[in-house]
Structure 1
Amino acid sequence: MSRNTAIVLVLALVLVAQVEAIKLWPLPKQIINGTDTLPFSVCDFNAALTQNNLTSAMRTKIQFYAQKIFQTKDSVQCNLRASDFSFTIKVNNTDIKFGEFGTDDESYNLEASVNKTISISANTYFGFLRALETLSQLLRQNSDEVSLSHLPIQIQDAPSYGYRGVMIDSARNYLKKSSILRTIDAMMYNKMNVLHWHITDDESFPIELESIPEMSNFGSYGARYRYSKSDVQEIIDYAAQSGVRVIPEVDSPGHVRSWGRSEKYSNITIACPGGEHYNNQLDPTLDLTYEANDLIFKDIQELFQDQYIHMGGDEVFGSCWDQRPSIKQFMSQNNISDYNQLQVYYRNRQKQSIQANRTKIYWANEVQHIPPAPEDIIQFWGQSYTYNVIQNLPNKVILSPEDFLYINSGINFIWGNFFGNFTTWLNIYQVNISPVEIDRSRILGAETTLWGEVNTDSTLDVYLWVRSSALAERLWTGNHSTPSDSSIDMSDLARRLSFMEDLMIERGINAAPVTNKFCKENIGICFDWRKANVYQSTTSTQTNTQ
């Protein structure tokens, strides 16, 4: 081998190593990049603000990222000098408005060169946000200096699934407004776009409703543990500016003990045997039950303008309705043959409280799958091997299989007892998001669910992240198969997810560790034995082929 050939080979190996070291989460669809870096200051980042076509929301997010990346709130100094970097930002539609699931265009193109030019182009505000997050991840902290890495770089990107969700539960344990806003930040960092807010349950009714104040006055944990109208509006507005839509859930006819705490509405709920020993269900035969529904959803729909509303509908037990003989009499008089049909009756009558332009979402699993109306959306929370129970339905589906995406499982339950199996970030990364039992056109996406029995403000972050990050990448990249251990580039995955863990912690999200410190610093030793080539790359190009 000649000396020149050896030098070329060494340089090529160095180049490959540098290209493979690129760390972005979730992985973009297509990346073409080099290996150069340039110093990059907060003033360089704020050069983006010189664009005349920026809306107030776009400026706010640029400043938000500048503060998070550079750990400073002071940008006045940047007015004293011009940056060497030149930004071009083109967004065709800057309105912040959500459409039907799967129709919001979040695609973007991002380019940066060694000539200190940065270009972002997107069709919508949401695409602009996703590009801004990717740009922020290309900035590397080295000692006291931040640099823009992997130049020149071109990225073309878009999500594969339109529903990339997280569910939080503020009824079992009240979650502070600041915790919910922090969760929205973390969702933006991970390019997730739906916050499913399970607001009420047996334990409490923490949202103030002007039309029916009895619900929160008697059903909440107290005045300190309620969300005011202004609280809710702030959360919705903040989420929208972060590219996250908020879907409210007011669960019924089960999980409603908090509905009946006032004297006026005490008769609409029935105490159930078993369960947590304090579960209640609504009596679907009483006019007062539907009066309460009318008033609750009048205010819920005024507060939440999104077209989607989650109606709950899970864990409804016949043994509960057995406690009140008048229910059987009502069923006989109205030709209702069984309790499943009684639930259908309740849903149909409850829907009269919901505006016609709202799309309803209902829970379903292999045990309770009440026949939905064709226009309803099913959120399936059963075991992942039981998708066949909804195989022949026409409904759109959100996947939340209990054995993969119930991230409260395996922690413990209200009595300190064992509850389910813990699901790790790798388990979640391996979830099948396109099962053969359900036609791909019906699948909107998926959602991690964090039920709140033993979750509080202090545990929220560590339970959600980095496990929800794993789902975020699967839904963004769109791998339609079930990746096994042997089909995942474990070194690349662990390296990038550890990077995301560190990034979130730097930005104030108390994310759980991917692995131990030794393995983070020696990825090859810990993970190379499991390595296979999922991500195809060359010395100049990385394309996600999932």
Structure 2
Amino acid sequence: MFDTLFERNFIPWKFYPKRAVFEPGRDGTYRGPRKEITKLTLVLKKPDPETLLRPLAGSVDESYELALNTDGTATIAANSTIGLVRGLTTMTQLFFKHSDGQVYTKLAPVKIFDAPKFPHRGLNMDVSRSYYPVKDIKRQIDALGYTKFNRLHLHITDSQSWPLVIPDLPWLTWKGAYQYDMIYTPTDISDIQYYAALHGISVVIETDMPGHTTSIGYGYPNLITAFEEDDWATYAAQPPSGTLKLNSQEVFVFLEKLWNDLLPRLKPLSAYYHTGGDEVNKNAYRFDETVNSSDPAVLQPYMQSFVNFNHDAVRHAGMVPIVWEEMLLEWNLTLGRDVVVQTWQSSAAVQQVVAKGHKALVGNYNFWYLDCGQGQWIDFPPDSSEGFWPYADYCSPRKNWRLIYSLDPLDGIPANQTHLVIGGEAHIWGEQTDAVNVDRMVWPRAAAVAEVLWSGAKDAEGRNRSQVEASPRLAEMRERLVTRGVGSEPVHMPYCTMEDKGCIW
């Protein structure tokens, strides 16, 4: 906290008129003794739950009360240690840096009661298509904690690479990682989990399957069908093609080794495990000798058995499964009531998921995909590029923060089903994002998601939250992130916060 206040704080000149004298004491009007905070009291009102470090959604109370008094005392009270962390974070955001090196606030006295609208508030970070050193993941964790997210979802394997070290299956990384040192060891994963826990964040690991698994085939080729077919677009969502076989005994032996090695290591600091399930191309199973069909009616029972096997292993490890929406809505699988379904295609998908009685995560790609608008990453030969110009990506255009802020996670959800929408995630996929540009791709737009998930999309009168009011808050948060070493983009030019009328239409 003291490091944030005194070392990672900023002088807020951008939020006052040009050349204004805005700092206390600079205009000569304040002549009394300087009032200082002499006492900060933290009150934990009840014992922490046993699940504090691996919480299920809603199992830990993150609310807090903060009082900053003119007599120099401050109190933060909460029902959990994580609530105290959220309160301490807010307290640092009440203060600004003074040009004399001190810090100050003009808000005292102030009393705040704050609590999140949704218990799952996350960022999905693809660390498979592009590799991120652990230090760069930790920088995102620091920013997530400062904006009161509480989940980091690591999409850690995909078709292009398998960087996750599984000691019982050594060929996964020896053959499947981009380079020998572009891997995440068990120590790395434990380090990431622990660092996140200190920020009140739980890590969710995802090994996507049965699709998006080509990288397994580099070390274990017998497990994969349609492996690196030249006509990849017929058999996969993107190159290279390759999918785990659905009815192979070798595949189930592989999965058993994977789960027995990985899940017990994750359990101490993770309550959820994501088994993937998106974009499975049925055509790939024409090459699968264990099913020999692309007929959905033939494949569906095999997919049911495949998912049942994985989810039983997750439950046996004491964790809760998460899947992508296709497993429920496209494959029509019967999923356990404990399974959380992550949606990404539409608000209608959220409605369908909760109508089936499942808990849902929101993440509509038309709003909360942070990598959109970068253009195509696939090359087109001259004789086949017609029709693709100007080479926009599938989810163009870029999702600006105002669009992001406009998504209501409860859009179209009946009042008696809103409790099933447990939150959502922003997504940063790795086709054109890596450690060099990830900060500007994620921040500060992800902070707009954070506010929607913490405060809800509606104000006290039930209206959409005002972007006119949100804009200066987001601009201020951007400055605070920059002081924390996060390369966050500007929200707008300084003029917009320095003038009374600002940049309002």
* TM score, norm. by length of structure 2: 0.83
1:396 aligns with 2:359: yes
- Give CA deviations for 1:447-468 in whole Å, capped at 9, x if unaligned: 1011111110011111111111
Q: 2:272 aligns with which of 286, 308, 311?
A: 308
- Give CA deviations for 1:237-279 in whole Å, capped at 9, x if unaligned: 01001000000000000000111112x4444343263132312
Residues 257-268 of structure 1 aligned to structure 2 (within 5 Å): 257-262=214-219, 264-268=220-224
Task: Give the AA of the match of 1:401.
Answer: N
Q: What does residue 33 of structure 2 align with?
A: none
Q: What does residue 501 of structure 1 align with?
A: 478
Mapped partners of 1:303, 1:453: distance in 2: 29
Residues 251-400 of structure 1 aligned to structure 2 (within 5 Å): 251-262=208-219, 264-271=220-227, 273-274=232-233, 275-305=237-267, 306-328=270-292, 337-356=297-316, 357-365=318-326, 368-371=330-333, 372-400=335-363
Q: 2:8 aligns with which of 68, 81, 89?
A: 68
**Shift in alpha-carbon separation, 1:523–1:267, aligned structure 2, 3 A:** farther
Mapped partners of 2:117, 2:310: distance in 1: 34
Structure 1 residue 148: deviation in Å?
A: 2.7
Mapped partners of 2:500, 2:158: distance in 1: 43
**Shift in alpha-carbon separation, 1:492–1:328, aligned structure 2, 3 A:** same
Residues 81-230 of structure 1 aligned to structure 2 (within 5 Å): 85-91=38-44, 92-93=46-47, 96-144=52-100, 145-230=102-187
Mapped partners of 2:278, 2:357: distance in 1: 20
SS in 2 for 1:312: coil
> Which sections of structure 1, spanning at least 5 residues, go unmatched?
1-60, 72-82, 530-546
Q: What does residue 499 of structure 2 align with?
A: 522
SS in 2 for 1:341: helix
**Shift in alpha-carbon separation, 1:483–1:213, aligned structure 2, 3 A:** farther
**Shift in alpha-carbon separation, 1:500–1:440, aligned structure 2, 3 A:** same
Structure 1 residue 285: deviation in Å?
A: 1.4
Mapped partners of 1:506, 1:363: distance in 2: 36
Mapped partners of 1:367, 1:87: distance in 2: 51
Residues 404-415 of structure 1 aligned to structure 2 (within 5 Å): 404-415=367-378
- Give CA deviations for 1:181-239 in whole Å, capped at 9, x if unaligned: 00010011100000001000001111111111111111101122001111111110010
Mapped partners of 1:98, 1:507: distance in 2: 26
Mapped partners of 1:370, 1:278: distance in 2: 26
Q: What does residue 30 of structure 2 align with?
A: none
Q: What does residue 31 of structure 2 align with?
A: none
Greater strand share, structure number: 1
Task: Give the AA of the match of 1:379.
Answer: Q
CA contact (8 A) 1:433 1:480 kept: no
The Cα RMSD (Å) is: 2.6
Structure 1 residue 359: deviation in Å?
A: 1.1
Structure 1 residue 298: deviation in Å?
A: 1.9
1:471 aligns with 2:432: no
**Shift in alpha-carbon separation, 1:232–1:131, aligned structure 2, 3 A:** same
SS in 2 for 1:127: helix
* TM score, norm. by length of structure 1: 0.77
CA contact (8 A) 2:353 2:359 kept: no
**Shift in alpha-carbon separation, 1:65–1:362, aligned structure 2, 3 A:** farther
SS in 1 for 2:392: coil
Mapped partners of 1:186, 1:209: distance in 2: 29
Q: 2:426 aligns with which of 417, 439, 448?
A: 448
Task: Give the AA of the match of 2:271.
Answer: Q
- Give CA deviations for 1:128-155 in whole Å, capped at 9, x if unaligned: 1111111101111232331133111111
Mapped partners of 2:74, 2:111: distance in 1: 10
After TM superposition, the structure 1 stretch with the greater mean CA deviation from structure 2, 456-465 or 385-394, is 385-394
Mapped partners of 1:344, 1:223: distance in 2: 35
**Shift in alpha-carbon separation, 1:482–1:291, aligned structure 2, 3 A:** farther
- Aligned residues with identical type, % of pairs: 25
Structure 1 residue 435: deviation in Å?
A: 2.2
Q: What does residue 15 of structure 1 align with?
A: none
CA contact (8 A) 1:110 1:155 kept: yes
Mapped partners of 2:75, 2:116: distance in 1: 20
Task: Give the AA of the match of 2:179.
Answer: G
Q: What does residue 26 of structure 2 align with?
A: none
Mapped partners of 2:151, 2:286: distance in 1: 38
**Shift in alpha-carbon separation, 1:294–1:135, aligned structure 2, 3 A:** same
Structure 1 residue 525: deviation in Å?
A: 3.1
Mapped partners of 1:467, 1:101: distance in 2: 24
**Shift in alpha-carbon separation, 1:277–1:231, aligned structure 2, 3 A:** closer
Structure 1 residue 415: deviation in Å?
A: 1.8
Mapped partners of 2:239, 2:70: distance in 1: 65
CA contact (8 A) 1:87 1:117 kept: yes
SS in 2 for 1:302: helix
Q: What does residue 29 of structure 2 align with?
A: none
Mapped partners of 2:223, 2:203: distance in 1: 32
**Shift in alpha-carbon separation, 1:507–1:345, aligned structure 2, 3 A:** same
SS in 2 for 1:338: helix
Task: Give the AA of the match of 2:472.
Answer: R
> Which sections of structure 2, spanning at least 5 residues, go unmatched?
12-35, 380-390
Q: What does residue 6 of structure 1 align with?
A: none
Q: What does residue 3 of structure 1 align with?
A: none
- Give CA deviations for 1:97-149 in whole Å, capped at 9, x if unaligned: 23321121111111111211111111111011111111101111232331133
Structure 1 residue 482: deviation in Å?
A: 13
**Shift in alpha-carbon separation, 1:519–1:481, aligned structure 2, 3 A:** closer
Equivalent residue pairs, number: 451
Task: Give the AA of the match of 1:93.
Answer: P
Mapped partners of 1:328, 1:482: distance in 2: 57
Task: Give the AA of the match of 2:450.
Answer: A
Task: Give the AA of the match of 2:47.
Answer: N
CA contact (8 A) 1:160 1:478 kept: yes
Mapped partners of 1:325, 1:158: distance in 2: 53
Mapped partners of 2:274, 2:146: distance in 1: 25
1:433 aligns with 2:393: no
1:231 aligns with 2:188: yes
Mapped partners of 2:464, 2:142: distance in 1: 31
Runs of 4+ aligned residues of structure 1 deviating over 6 Å after TM superposition are: 481-484
CA contact (8 A) 1:384 1:403 kept: no
SS in 2 for 1:493: helix
CA contact (8 A) 2:6 2:103 kept: no
